[in-house]
């Protein structure tokens, strides 16, 4: 067994992905993945981060991890046409995953009006109109695109691997299980809704992002991050009343 095969076996054994999962196709909802480690105070090796450091997802490492158990990988993420850093990031993603495997569309800039408390802690540029002070938050969901592709390609995989904790995928996962007899491998960060976790566990597996942190994360100085608008993306909220860790 060469080093490449040994790594693949180590990853599969660590995540307990056995042969019963068959052929796996991975779908990366990077708008959700991007912030998996944004609040962490320790790096990929468990060491404390210093001031000015941030833990980010390394795309090449992410691809390498997924190649350990996935037959193919598809990457979904929005771009800001007016931001050079955003455009550069998409170019990097296409280089890493391949042009035909990266799916993007322009972000929408949504107005969010600030309360007094939010204004004190806000770090974005503040604008003003007749309704008050607001900031622009980039938003770009790929729920529909991922769902359509997952159904369209159902004949090409046995297990749907989704990198996201977005509860909007609940109905897709249920459809794939009940009508297409597919397993689901859900890789998520933080909390997810109980209904989503229960559905996946019917015929699949949940992997916590912290369990693969050592494989996909790297330290960066905050001033060196590529694409400021990308770093500002917010993860989807799931609501704490029905969450599970």
Do 211 and 134 share a domain, yes or no?
no
Cβ neighbours of residue 223 closer than 8 Å, sequence gap 6 or more = 52
Is the distance from CB of 99 to CB of 165 less than 8 angstroms? Answer: no
The model's pTM: 0.84
The DSSP output letter for 121 is H
Do 93 and 123 share a domain, yes or no?
no
150: which 2 tokens?
A: 């997952």
Do 184 and 98 share a domain, yes or no?
yes
Closest CA to 101 of 78, 66, 74: 74
Residue labelled with tokens 């989704």: 162
Residues 157 and 143: their CA atoms lie apart, in Å, by 19
Do 66 and 94 share a domain, yes or no?
yes
Do 127 and 189 share a domain, yes or no?
no
Phi and psi for 140 in degrees, rounded to 5? Answer: -160, 95
Residue labelled with tokens 């107005």: 111
pLDDT tens-digit profile, the chain (245 residues) = 688 788 889 999 999 999 999 999 999 999 999 999 989 999 999 999 998 899 999 999 999 999 999 999 999 999 999 889 999 999 999 999 999 999 999 998 888 888 878 877 777 788 999 888 888 877 889 999 999 999 999 999 999 999 999 999 999 999 999 999 999 999 999 999 999 999 999 999 999 999 999 999 999 987 766 554 443 443 333 333 344 44
Domain boundary among 139, 163, 187: 139
Phi and psi for 41 in degrees, rounded to 5? Answer: -110, 5
* DSSP 3-state of 141: coil
């Amino acid at each position: 067994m060469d080093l490449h095969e040994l790594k693949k076996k180590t990853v599969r054994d660590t995540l307990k992905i056995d042969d019963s999962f068959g052929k796996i196709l991975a779908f990366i909802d990077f708008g959700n993945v991007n912030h998996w480690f944004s609040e962490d105070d320790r790096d990929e090796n468990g060491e404390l981060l210093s001031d000015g450091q941030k833990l980010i997802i390394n795309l090449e490492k992410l691809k390498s991890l997924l190649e350990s158990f996935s037959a193919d990988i598809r990457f979904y993420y929005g771009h800001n046409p007016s931001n050079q850093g955003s455009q550069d990031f998409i170019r990097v993603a296409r280089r890493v995953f391949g042009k035909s495997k990266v799916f993007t569309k322009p972000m929408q800039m949504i107005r969010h009006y600030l309360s007094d408390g939010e204004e004190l802690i806000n770090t974005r540029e503040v604008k003003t109109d007749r309704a008050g002070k607001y900031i622009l938050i980039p938003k770009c969901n790929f729920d529909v695109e991922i769902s359509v592709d997952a159904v369209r390609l159902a004949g090409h995989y046995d297990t749907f691997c989704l990198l996201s904790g977005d509860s909007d995928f609940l109905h897709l996962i249920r459809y794939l299980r009940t009508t297409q007899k597919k397993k689901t491998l859900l890789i998520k960060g933080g909390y997810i809704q109980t209904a989503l976790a229960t559905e996946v566990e019917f015929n699949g597996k949940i992997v916590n992002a912290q369990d693969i942190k050592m494989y996909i994360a790297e330290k960066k100085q905050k001033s060196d991050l590529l694409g400021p608008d990308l770093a500002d993306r917010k993860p989807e909220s799931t609501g704490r009343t029905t969450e599970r860790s």
